[in-house]
Structure formats: structure tokens, C-alpha cells
Amino acid sequence: MGRRCGIVSQGVQVDIEIQEKIFDTGKVTLNYAESSSSGMPVILLHGGSARWQDFNSILPDLASTFHIYAPDFRGHGKSGWVSNTYRLQDYTDDIIAFLQKHLTEPALLFGHSLGGIIALMVAAQCPAGVRAVAVGDAPLSRKTWYEHLHQSRDRVAAWRELSGGQQPLPALIEILKASPIEVPGRNETVPLREVMGEDSPVFEWIATNLSQNDPDMLSSLIDRFEATAAGYEMKTVLPAVKCPVLLMQADPSVGGVMTDKEVEQALPLLAQPQHLKLEGVSHVLHNVRKEPVLAALKTFFQVC
């Protein structure tokens, strides 16, 4: 299954096909998208509860310069489900297997949120397979990640109940629209539809993601956090990453997860660090403001 997209490159219209394929790691099958374009390989790693289509806004532009691979993590999208194996290390092992068995040269990695954590762990454990890493507003320590998840615990628990494809998509969309949310200045919660708008495409997007999530993947965050996060320590992971790393920080004042304190601690631990703070850009990055994210990625990757 594939789709074609027209891209204007140096004034010339270029047709690039994006096709979904399957890769077997030996432990799980990973669904991934691949572009027909040439260039250095770039692997796009999505955030938690998302899927490769999370990069739809920037994938065609990147494909004009690079050869793109965008996998669904295990338990996400169309990839396989493997109960009780949703540790960071399990995701890391899957991507290392993809690098070692499927690619013939080191890749450039861009990971958003959870994907940024995995990109760093892959670079630390498989240095020969990684040319450079761009980290898109991921927590840089287990402590920050835990605090973020704890604040979102009720939402994650609610999403777990809606995951797994048990509800038809239209029904799931209606449940999301009716879900309560706190609004500054209001004493009572209001339905999410009043905040987002009845016809917001966000509802179908989240519903589709949830319908393809393994509920146990979300249980790994709520009920088994310590086991899930084992091995993700700033002082051990970051010094092991020898390639160039771009820390792309969203604005904490509008929901960014990567903190100023973490960045200050992380930069001296990395061998070849760069840092970019995207003022006014929220945690979802390219999904609301693709231009600065795309420009930063192209600039960073083209010199690595």
C-alpha cells in the first residue's frame, strides 16, 4: 500500500512514493513507511500512543532530500503486539535490529517525545548504526519522564480503556468529544468538543491512534513504570552517545516537556551537542508548527 506526493525541489516537481512495508525483528513485526527517494537514510521515531503518520506534515519535505523510514513502534499503529514487553529497551532493540539487518549505512535519527528517548538509547548502544540524532522535546531523564506521566496519569488510564479497537471509530470519536477537560476561569469541567471545536480533526486522529494501540503498552507506563524505564539514566546514556546530537526543545511555557534544567545538565554530557529552543512551540512540535522544526532538521542533518 502506498501513496504518491508531489514535491517541488529546486523548482522541479518531483513525485515521491511513500509505501508501507513490514520488517520482522525476530521478536515482533514492525510496520514502517519508506519513501522512494534517494539520499542518506533518515529514521523518524514517533511519540507514545502515536504512529508513523505523526510525521505526515514533514515527511514529504524531508523525502525531497533524504531516504525516509518511519516505523510504528511495537504495540502502536500496525506493528505487532507483544504483551508485557513494552520497556524502553524493547523498543530500542527493535530499532537496532532494523538498523543492523535492513540498512547498509549509518542513519540519521529524529525522535519525537518517546521516540527521542529511543533515539538516544539506540545511538548509545549501536554507535556504528547512527550518524546523528535529533531529539524532539523528549524528557532527558527518567525523573522528568515520570513526573510528566504522573501529571497525565488520568488521561493515560482513560486512553487505555479506549484502546485496542474495542470501540467502532465513530463511537470512539464521540467519547473523546464528550470527555471532560478543565478550562482556566471555569469552575466546572467542559466537554472537549467545546474547547477543540465539533469538527476538529484531532478527534479522529486520536481515535485512530488509540484503536491501534495495545492497551498493555499503556499499562506499562501506568503500572510498570520502573521496569519500563530501566536503563534510561542521563549520566550513563548521554556520555555513550558519540555522534552529533541536536536537542530540540519546545517552549515549557506552552507545554514543552524538555526542561531548561535538563538541557543545562545534558549538554556537558554529550560529545557533540547542539541545542535549539523553539519559542512559542508546544510539545507536539511539527504537528502545529512544522516550519521551524523542518528547517532545524534539514540544517542539522545536511552537515552531519
- Banded pLDDT at 294 (limits 50, 70, 90): very high
Question: Would you say residue 79 has pLDDT above 80?
Answer: yes
State residue 9's pLDDT score. 46
- Kind of pairing, strands 190-191 and 107-112? unpaired
Q: What percent of the chain has pLDDT over 70?
A: 95
Reported residue count of the chain is 304
Q: Say whether pLDDT at 250 is over 50.
A: yes
Q: Looking at the predicted structure, is the pLDDT value of residue 3 above 80?
A: no
Mean pLDDT across 122-139 = 98
Among left, alpha and beta (phi > 0; psi -120 to 50; other), residue 282 is: beta
Report which of 295, 274, 292, 267 is spatially closest to residue 282, judged by C-alpha positions: 292
**pLDDT at residue number 180:** 86
pLDDT digits (tens, 9 = 90+) for 195-228: 889 999 999 999 999 999 999 999 999 999 999 9
Tell whether the model's pLDDT for residue 162 goes beyond 50. Answer: yes
What CA–CA distances, in Å, run from 226 to 8, 88, 132, 145?
47, 11, 28, 11
Q: What is the largest CA-CA distance in the chain?
A: 58
Distance between start and end Cα atoms, the chain? 32
Q: Compute the distance between CA of residue 42 and CA of residue 33 in angstroms, rounded to an integer.
A: 12
Note the pLDDT of residue 184: 74
> What is the per-residue pLDDT across 169-198, written as a single tens digit (0 to 9) for each?
999 999 999 988 877 777 888 888 988 899
Residue 236 burial (C-beta neighbours within 10 Å; 0-12, 13-18, 19+)? exposed
What does the alpha-carbon distance between residue 288 and residue 180 come to, in Å, rounded to a whole number?
23
Taking the C-alpha atoms of residue 121 and residue 95, their distance in angstroms, rounded to an integer, is 10
Q: Using CB atoms within 10 Å of the CB of residue 93, give its burial: 0 to 12 exposed, 13 to 18 middle, 19+ buried.
A: buried
For the beta carbon of residue 80, count every other beta carbon within 10 angstroms. 17
The pLDDT score that the predictor gives to residue 8 is 43
CA gap 88, 10 in Å, rounded: 40
The whole-number average pLDDT for the span 148-154 is 91
The Cα–Cα gap between 100 and 85 comes to 21
Nearest CA to 51 among 229, 216, 211?
211
Q: Which domains does the chain have, with CATH numbers?
A: 2-148+231-302 (3.40.50.1820), 152-219 (no CATH)
